[in-house]
Structure 1
Amino acid sequence: MLAGFRIYALRSESGGCLKICVLAQRVPYPPNKGEKLRSYHQIRRLVELGHQVEVYSLTESAQDQEDARALAQQLNVRVVTERLSARWKRYLWALLHNQPLSVGAFYTSAMQKHVARLLADSSVDVMLLTASSLGFYVFNATPNPNCAKVLLDFMDVDSDKWRQYAERANWPLTWVYQRESSGIRWLEQRANQSFAATFLIAQDEVSLFHSKVSHAKPVQVLGNGMAFDDFYPPEKAPDHTRPHFLFTGVMDYKPNVDAVVWFVQACWPSVKAALPGAVFTIAGMNPGNEVKALAQDPSIQVTGFVDDILPYFHNATVFVAPFRIARGVQNKVLQAAACGVPIVTTSMGAEGIGFAHSDCMTIVDDADGFAEACIKSCENRTQSLEMAQCALQQLTETYSWEQQLRPLEEALAEL
């Protein structure tokens, strides 16, 4: 075993249809945020279908190791982890090797050896990569890698996300983000040309990819699903004695930070004036100083990490998704719909969601209109709850994980 690796819970060798290795940037457990949630349910579905699954993942902390053990035990899969070096060392490596920082952030030579071995191993049928930056491991493998057994879940068009960052940044970050966008676009193009199949989270992302990145091969839609029974109905009646507005997410992630800061600065004063006693809760781990400073307003609560996000959804009068920078489908919007909470969102927050129309949620992009929509959602509860029920109904009809992951099953069947 290579130094730095840990291996947890060996799965039985018998009974699997295919031997599948899943390479993940982070341990996909607990399934409490976007990429972890998506990868966790993909792995779980593969196991349910009878495949023999091994997960290879990078770690940064002792907690990550505990999460790897929990994943192995819960899904009965083999999990192999490699500890990353200090972040500055990884970024320096990327600069010295003329690679995107996203590649350096999740690169180790030990994992590279594992990937090369797995690609050369005839007993491994499929390798599933869960991020575009992980494609570097395949392209850097020697001897020439067998790309015919590699699948890549882009999830989002990451190169466009970095382009959006560059548009809103100042020097020198403009240069950093433009460099990242260019480097990731090259990886996306090569992956689309080389791998057996590639996936994106929504048709809007596929259209963007084919128009801006590559149309060498068709990219398939591989959507996100929901475990509906976990979200609705709530265990107890919510407290709506005063309006509760909610935003959830990892709060050191730039699009989330931009969203809540814009909402508080551009929309919240009007909402407070019209709805005395209104509260805005920002629930999610790792809030930085810019987000924490918003709580200087007594009507705003910044929670930091919470053990269970569901009570916050269930107590919300309105869920807001005021995104100005975004790529892909916002899981938080799906979660709000699954909880039966009225949604006010920008068009970017609604992107890629099949029921994102006026019957199910309010979509507004300007500050005055967004604030007015928040106010109306509270003042006309009958209408807003009818819209929430519309969203919930359409979600349950089309967003089960089994339905959403069918393209992955079909791609495996074609190999």
Structure 2
Amino acid sequence: MLNTSVRTLFITLDLPYPPRSGAPLRNWQNMNLMRQYGNVAVFSIFKGQPPQKTLPGIQNWYHYDLAQKRPLKERLQNRLSGLTPWRYAYIDFFYTQPAVDILKQILKEWQPTIVIFEHLWLCRYLPIVQRYPCQIIFDEHNVEVDLFEQKIQQMMGLRLKTKMKLEKFHLQFMEKKMAYKADQIWVCSQSDAEKLKQRYGKNLNPYVVPNGINVTDYDIVRRGECISAFEGKSNPHTLIFIGTFGYPPNVEAAEFLTQKFYPEIKQLYPNTLLILVGKNPPPALKNATQQEPGILWTGLVEDVKPYLAAATIVITPLFKGGGTRLKILEAFAADRPVVSTTKGAEGLDIENKKHLFIENEVEGMVDAVDQLWSNPSLYQQCVDNAYNLVKTHYSWDAVANRIQPLIQNLFKINS
């Protein structure tokens, strides 16, 4: 019998709600699933103020705004740290003494049973939490050193590459420390679990807690009841790519779509509409596509479902990155077929040409889209298979079944 008096504190660098991109969607999933064991509190640390002061179903939400001026001593320390070529400054950005003071107060007064760290970038708060009698979970959304090595390979110039290689050692040290100091480490997929064990030793025991979605949230799209973003202007040849364009792999994917893929698919289907949904589109890329009426940048949207309702195919041409793609799971739940690269579908337990189409070259992607648009039977078979998969393997209920034995294990450690 599970203890129902567990108090879980999430420390996050993302806006918890509304969840509009991958990391917040994962956090919101885990926050809601941990509520079945007891009260949940959130301490968010990011630049800016939340647009709202409450979270649905969560009574305690604390926030620190990183836009506030930092203490003089801290500013001087950060300047000195910046002179150290091997130190990765992004980790220091999220750490500040005023946030430490708030965290100490939360730990003292709220007394959490479990503290869940979201992302590696909050690692400097680990020693603070270790002073209190609670279990620590490190929820690693990506294997960050793996992603950092991908960035190094892209860089031009010996000086910058050398600097990044030195920074990698600091990043690797902190990632290994978090992995071994935490009572549990959660990852998104089995492939990420294997990457961690290969990098940091077979003694490490990562637990797979998949990215999932609340499938019923997308029923309105699946049943055709959601008002389309382009009401009255239905286009059966509409593609959608969803992502945050401050993330370099998404920018690369958008460049691939607009510069290579779109000109080819337009030759087959001249009325093709490509919708790019997400915040922070690069000005250069956005300006380059403004002359093409068939490509639409939406910027940040309050709700992606009207855009899913407008689209007939979701396309995810990612060539770098890590974790698993919630955008694919959203498409599955909304009855929208997916065309993806191998990297875009990485970490998901899927079968090519059954749940989605996987292609890594322009010609293959164009052919996959053509097959889906020209063959209604194939289209329906694909969305049916995908919907069954997301419901049985990647729904919140399915993820809850993965989390339950992990929480039970923490209780055994406590007893």
Above 0.5 in TM-score? yes
Matches within 5 A, 1:1-400: 17-49=5-37, 51-62=38-49, 64=50, 66-67=51-52, 69-71=53-55, 74-85=56-67, 92=79, 95=82, 99-115=87-103, 123-139=111-127, 141=128, 145=131, 149-171=135-157, 174-175=161-162, 177-232=164-219, 233=222, 234-235=224-225, 241-293=235-287, 294-400=289-395
State the shift of 1:93 in Å.
Answer: 7.2
- Contact 1:115/1:138 (<8 A) preserved: no
RMSD: 2.8
State the shift of 1:369 in Å.
Answer: 1.5
The aligned residue for residue 6 of structure 1 is none
**Partner SS state of residue 115, structure 2:** strand
Code of the residue aligned with 2:203 in structure 1: it is A
CA distance in 1: counterparts of 2:309 and 2:209, whole angstroms: 28
How many residues align structurally?
Answer: 393
- Contact 2:115/2:134 (<8 A) preserved: no
CA distance in 2: counterparts of 1:92 and 1:147, whole angstroms: 34
1:319-366 CA distance string (max 9 Å, x none): 110001120101111111111111110001111111243211110112
State the shift of 1:122 in Å.
Answer: 10
- Contact 2:20/2:302 (<8 A) preserved: no
**Partner SS state of residue 291, structure 1:** helix
1:220-278 CA distance string (max 9 Å, x none): 00111121122132315977644101101112221111101012222221111111111
1:116-170 CA distance string (max 9 Å, x none): 566678943221111112222114x39x746972111002111111111111122
- Quickly say closer, same or farther: Cα 1:182–1:397, change in 2 above 3 A: same
CA distance in 2: counterparts of 1:157 and 1:411, whole angstroms: 20
- Quickly say closer, same or farther: Cα 1:231–1:181, change in 2 above 3 A: farther
State the shift of 1:378 in Å.
Answer: 1.7
Code of the residue aligned with 1:77 in structure 2: it is Q
CA distance in 2: counterparts of 1:87 and 1:244, whole angstroms: 46
Could you tell me the TM-score, scaled by structure 1's length? 0.86
- Quickly say closer, same or farther: Cα 1:296–1:166, change in 2 above 3 A: farther
State the shift of 1:290 in Å.
Answer: 3.1
- Contact 1:185/1:213 (<8 A) preserved: no
CA distance in 1: counterparts of 2:167 and 2:226, whole angstroms: 46
Report % sequence identity. Answer: 20
Q: Provide structure 2 residue ranges, at least 5 long, that are not aligned to the other structure.
A: 411-415
CA distance in 1: counterparts of 2:353 and 2:189, whole angstroms: 19
- Contact 1:147/1:194 (<8 A) preserved: no
CA distance in 2: counterparts of 1:91 and 1:281, whole angstroms: 41
CA distance in 2: counterparts of 1:375 and 1:253, whole angstroms: 29
- Contact 2:20/2:303 (<8 A) preserved: no
CA distance in 1: counterparts of 2:162 and 2:379, whole angstroms: 44
- Contact 2:226/2:305 (<8 A) preserved: no
CA distance in 2: counterparts of 1:122 and 1:237, whole angstroms: 43
CA distance in 1: counterparts of 2:32 and 2:81, whole angstroms: 33
- Contact 1:158/1:181 (<8 A) preserved: no
Could you tell me the TM-score, scaled by structure 2's length? 0.86
- Contact 1:119/1:145 (<8 A) preserved: no
Q: Provide structure 1 residue ranges, at least 5 long, that are not aligned to the other structure.
A: 1-14
CA distance in 2: counterparts of 1:123 and 1:268, whole angstroms: 54
The aligned residue for residue 413 of structure 2 is none
